[in-house]
A and B are shown apart, each in its own frame.
Chain A
């Protein structure tokens, strides 16, 4: 497989309001192979959007290069963009135009015209299952239908590379499932390369052939889901909820010392947050509170086997465990392991 996207030392510098310069993307190297679903995973502000904005020609890089199908996005942007279809997170459509009018307009931007344009619009409408609503204005559509038209625009010219930016944000589980199936169909039936960004680990893990994890503007891990999980040793994560009980450091030390396979044990105290997740709050001045239980997180190989011993030690220490959750190794754990932070932070 050859690479359709080649990114070398890509960087983008911005200035903060106080004039201080910082790199939102700092030296990204990346190859995306033809016909694969490649996901870029990272928390908000990690540099995903800026990286993709440079690859798709929206932003000029401060340094480095990016090519699509061998065409430089900086020196030969028109040729590069002809190979690219973009499905933004926003519903980038004209709400007062009909679905068909939107598709026809954007189709013409890809030099489609006449019978070819009509045929492609018909095919796309069928693909997104909106043929019967093609003459309705987009503003009258539900969120899921708008999202489908949004996807349809990106498919009009049968691009070799399709970039999808968090396409499942804000939609119901049924439509979300449908979109994920669509992504897989595009790869399998049309041999499209898909560049997928998301901060939802579950869906990335579900559809991706390869994943790149980005944090603070740098790619910190790259490979298949299996490769990445293997890197952190395939440990299970056991989460004990303990409410507002105090957990002594000595208990955590006992977990590590006395239970086979335990590599780490950490404790997070109970937190009371405001409705926007702000902490601490004055509980007299807020009507809605989020109460996050105190938790003990234990990383262990063969977690289920270690669980009885862990519970026994906790019991001996007088700790009343409210609930236990055993999580198999996943990309969330990979991110936690590599950065010390949860993906959603």
Chain B
């Protein structure tokens, strides 16, 4: 065993003598994991991290009608906080004492400090009372095809206040047509209209059919994983791809050793074939594990959680790394020169990774593509990571990927060891 470790140690020493290795196993993978994670949704559309929905309000009317509208919005969704109207002593609106004007509201909206902006135009109340159409301004960056809770609440409030206005107008006009219900004066008529409006509002408020919005509790630490994309996909995906980038070059290295005759020299020494191949493969296996560790550690920094079964996670990492190491040994037996080995390594890495779901989740590809994808060991290890990261899986739920990867490892090793030649 000492000989195996010595061969592996010397190979690693040679690998790490080339300083570009740090670029290849740290800098590029970390940057790529971050970029791909970001492109997959991390950060850009992150859900809110509190259970309140901050909505800015610019009330240019400050009338009873606008106050009534805001009451209806609050009633429609209790998680909505209208800023600055509902600001608290601890500054829930995060205004820091600033007066909300159009410029600040724009800025807060673009930075998503506030999720929406409601603008009440001047003359809002008077126009409603006069039965004239009026437009409430609503701005948000939400998906037009998937209206948010906030928009639904605003629409509900607008509908309600419009409905009561219609009821009051219709009721007053009906009263005007009944001769024995003559109003004493305009004030009497206005009071009548208001009574109808008030009654309509009360009836609307006691509508037996209503939707109750409740913001569910969530753990902000697990939010990235529950989001289903972003870094939780990119970190294991990119790590898996870069493990292949780290290990496949062993084929070219072995061919180079054959050409420079160091491999044959080892074979003439009192060292068994198993020790030589074991040492060579152990070096690349260790490099693969280091590669996984670097990218997964970066994932921790980005807030990715790897589930609750570290043993299952470690086994997945080790088994996949072993499988790719064995595949590399098998490849060495059919490749003839370094250029061929480099080309095949690049081709395999860039084919097996997307095919197996390292670039995007296999959930989004057609069924037939998913089936084809499972020809790649990457698909199996990504199945395992998905189970642990997204579904709180454990050793029991990743046993199938583990067994498949182990099976492939045995097949590749048998081919590699039986076909390997020193020259």
Contacts and interface: CB of A to CB of B under 8 A. Distances in A.
B6 interface: yes
Residue of A57, A92, A93, A97 with highest tally of chain B CB at under 10 A? A92
Nearest to A81: B270
Contact of A96 (B3, B17, B261): B17
A204 B261 CA distance: 24
B262 interface: yes
Given A105-B6, A106-B269, A92 B264 contact: yes
Interface string B265-286: 1111111100000000000000
Contacts of B260: 90-93, 95
B262 A110 contact: no
A88 B10 contact: no
A101 B9 CA distance: 12
Contact of B268 (A86, A94, A95, A111): A86
A153 B266 CA distance: 11
B14 interface: yes
Nearest to A84: B268
A1 B272 CA distance: 31
A140 to B, nearest CB: 14
B280 to A, nearest CB: 13
B423 interface: yes
Nearest to A83: B270
A171 interface: no
Given A108-B6, A109-B3, A82 B261 contact: no
Interface string A123-161: 000000000000000000000000000000100000000
Contacts of B14: 94, 96-97
B265 A81 contact: no
Chain A interface category by residue count = 20 to 34
Contacts of B269: 81, 86, 106, 109-110
B367 to A, nearest CB: 45
Interface in B212-266: 260-262, 264-266
A84 B10 CA distance: 23
Interface in A70-105: 77-79, 81-82, 84, 86, 88, 90-97, 101, 105
B172 to A, nearest CB: 96
Contacts of A109: 3, 6, 266, 269-271
Interface majority SS on B: helix, strand, loop or mixed?
Answer: helix
B13 interface: yes
B10 A94 contact: yes
B422 interface: yes
A27 to B, nearest CB: 23
Nearest to B279: A109
Contacts of A93: 260, 262
A58 interface: yes
Most chain B CB within a 10 A radius of its CB, from A82, A97, A109, A110: A109
Given A78-B270, A82-B270, A88 B13 contact: no
* Chain B interface category by residue count: 20 to 34
A56 interface: yes
A53 B423 CA distance: 10
Contacts of B270: 77-79, 81-82, 109-111
B9 to A, nearest CB: 9
Given A58-B423, A94-B10, A81 B268 contact: yes
B261 A58 contact: no
Contacts of B2: 108
B396 to A, nearest CB: 44
B265 to A, nearest CB: 4
Interface in A172-219: none
A101 B268 CA distance: 19
Best-surrounded residue of B265, B266, B422 (most CB of chain A within 10 A): B265
Contacts of B267: 57-58
B265 A153 contact: yes
Interface in B375-423: 422-423
Interface in A20-53: 53
A86 B6 contact: no
Contacts of A96: 14, 17-18
Contacts of A106: 265, 269
B45 to A, nearest CB: 48
A81 B271 CA distance: 8
B3 A58 contact: no
A92 B17 CA distance: 19
B10 A92 contact: no
B13 A97 contact: yes
A86 B10 contact: no
A59 to B, nearest CB: 8
Nearest to A108: B6
Nearest to A79: B270
A79 B272 CA distance: 11
Contacts of B423: 53, 58
22 contacts: A53-B423, A58-B268, A77-B270, A81-B269, A82-B270, A84-B268, A86-B265, A86-B268, A86-B269, A88-B265, A91-B261, A93-B260, A94-B14, A96-B18, A101-B13, A105-B6, A106-B265, A106-B269, A109-B6, A109-B269, A109-B270, A110-B269
Given A58-B268, A106-B269, A109-B271, 8 more contacts: A81-B268, A92-B260, A92-B262, A96-B17, A96-B18, A105-B6, A108-B2, A108-B3
Interface of B: 2-3, 6, 10, 13-14, 17-18, 260-262, 264-272, 422-423
Interface of A: 53, 56-58, 77-79, 81-82, 84, 86, 88, 90-97, 101, 105-106, 108-111, 153
